[in-house]
Amino acid sequence: MEIAPPLEAQTRPAVMVFPGRRPSGHVARAILVFGFSTTIAFGMSLQFLAQLFVWRNWPIREVLQGWLYIFRDRLIVAILITLPIVLLGILRIRSPLLRSALLAASVLAGAIVGEWLVRLLYDEQNALASLLTYALRWGAVAFAVATTYYLWRASADSGEQFRQESLRRQLVEQQLANTRLTALRKQIEPHFLFNTLATVRRLHQTDPAAGAGMLAGFIDYLRRVLPMLECSEVPLGDEVNLIRAYLTVIQLRMSGRLVVTFQVPGNLGTVLVPPLALATLVENAIKHGLTPRPSGGTISITASSYEGLLELVVADNGVGLKADSGGGTGIGLYNVRARLATLYGAKAALQVQANRPTGVCATIRLPLREEAG
């Protein structure tokens, strides 16, 4: 004996989309969604067994047989709603408005086709109004469940975003701490301090004016570098002034063997940059490129902007990259790359390559952002 589904059991379940933040593949996603649909269809079909008049009027075997028909009917509609939704997820449409419109159309179309197939099984094709009524019920329930899911998902995404921001701030603070330690260790390291003071003492005996100028440059350098260690970003103008103070000391120590050129437009002075990033490139050029060269050389510091990016270039005509340098993989350059990645992600980069005809050219590209106010 076949039992037609009672009207009380005709409300169909909704089907959720599980796009997943990091899906393992379309097949796995489809299995997950279809499994969830089957679970809902099974749960909704159990309401048939909760009706007391069913147990009063039919034997247990016929009740279970009727329940299987109910479960089949719900599973048919659930799968036909799920199928277009899975296909829609594969398309990965980026427009929220278009995705919402296609989702609504997919749910309604799947419900209509599913209800039509169910009625085809019971030879009830003349009940068009009833078909649309139950299809709209499917849609209403589906959108209610989908709304609940997406609200939960939005809340979960907000929580995840908050955690990511907290992690990013921790990374920035860690990088700043590393920057402070590295700068204090390398920029004001004992040999730099002692060599500078020894040069000042020698110049005081041979050229007092030059010695006074070197001491003034060294004091200016210390005065500028210490406050910068507390910042995550500083104006480019402050970074350039720090480099000028540093190079004033180095030029006197190299006794005329160093020529420096700056090409930094005044309108870029308020653009924000990571502290000591450009200074690290200048120090590398001096230490590894020009100091080993008996005749010294030239170093140029250039800044320019284009298409929302700031480009900083430090070029020298020194001894060039070593064969085992790996394109600039020293500790100083590693720290610069790490800070750029922490502050700007994939929007910033450091590139180190050979200069022509000799030397090294190091380039930093990062988003163009000006100091607030």
Give pLDDT tens digits for 7-42.
Answer: 333 333 333 343 444 445 667 766 766 777 787 778
pLDDT band of residue 156 (cuts 50, 70, 90) is low
pLDDT band of residue 4 (cuts 50, 70, 90) is very low
Please say whether the beta carbons of 33 and 16 come within 8 A: yes
| DSSP designation for 315 | E
Q: State mean pLDDT over 142-156.
A: 63
pLDDT of residue 353: 92
CA distances 159 to 153, 156, 162, 240, Å, are 10, 5, 5, 40
Q: How far apart are CA 86 and CA 100, in angstroms?
A: 14
**How far from the centroid of its chain's Cα atoms is residue 217's Cα?**
41
Is the bond preceding residue 292 a cis peptide, omega within 30 degrees? no
Most confident of 50-64, 311-325, 355-369: 355-369
Closest CA to 331 of 222, 189, 179: 179
CATH class, domain 188-367, is alpha beta
pLDDT band of residue 106 (cuts 50, 70, 90) is confident
Average pLDDT over the chain reads 76
The residue among 136 and 246 whose pLDDT is bigger is 246
Residue with the two structure tokens 């994939």: 346
Q: Please, where in the chain does CATH 3.30.565.10 lie? A: 188-367
Residue with the two structure tokens 């340098």: 325
- Give the tokens for residue 34: 């279809």
Report the length, in residues, of the chain.
373
Torsion, Cα 39 40 44 49, to 10 degrees, reads 10
The residue among 363 and 32 whose pLDDT is bigger is 363
Most confident of 27-31, 159-163, 252-256: 252-256
Closest CA to 303 of 273, 268, 270: 268
Q: State mean pLDDT over 87-105.
A: 69
